[in-house]
Amino acid sequence: MAKILIVDDEHLTIEMLSTFLQIIGHQTVAALSGRQTWERLSHESPDLILLDIMLPDDNGLEICRKLRAQEATRLLPIIMISAYSPALTKEATAAGATGYLSKPIKLDVLKAAIARSGVR
């Protein structure tokens, strides 16, 4: 069972992803903003982050870059999610994302992306 941090400013998206991930055996933690992401990471050690690109107070791409610059999170799998697809796929990869998913997220595609990230 992996611990997955879901970062998205849409409550419904977090609820849907969290429910699905819990059904397939994962534990979830949620953050609604960039600020909450850093707060969660100060207390939690997730095995994977699902990170929305567009957040109200921060940019998911910048959060990804900062996570890659820190030793503790340099290798942490990060799957970027966005409704602006596929336009930001290259930017997400350049920022260090492990994967990229388009909204609306298909659950079978999410499950496959998690498996590709190496998280069990």
Of the listed ranges 19-23, 81-85, 91-95, the least confidently predicted one is 81-85
Does residue 103 register a pLDDT over 80?
yes
Does residue 105 register a pLDDT over 80?
yes
Residue recorded with tokens 């969290």: 18
Identify which of 84, 89, 120 has the alpha carbon closest to the alpha carbon of residue 104: 84
- Phi first, then psi: give them for residue 12, nearest 5 degrees: -65, -40
For residues 43 and 5, is the Cβ–Cβ distance under 8 A?
Answer: no
Encode 4-42: b = buried (16+ Cβ within 10 Å), e = exposed.
bbbbbbeeebbebbbeebeeeebebbbbbbbebbeebbe
Q: What is the fold, at CATH topology level, of the domain defined by 3-116?
A: Rossmann fold (3.40.50)
pLDDT of residue 85: 63
Q: What are 81's strand-pairing partners? A: 52, 101
Q: For residue range 38-91, what is the model confidence (pLDDT) as tens digits?
A: 999 999 999 999 999 999 999 999 999 999 999 999 999 999 999 876 667 888
Q: For residue range 108-117, what is the model confidence (pLDDT) as tens digits?
A: 999 999 999 9
Q: Record the pTM.
A: 0.95
Instruction: Report how far residue 1's alpha carbon sits from residue 8's, in angstroms, rounded to the nearest whole number.
Output: 22
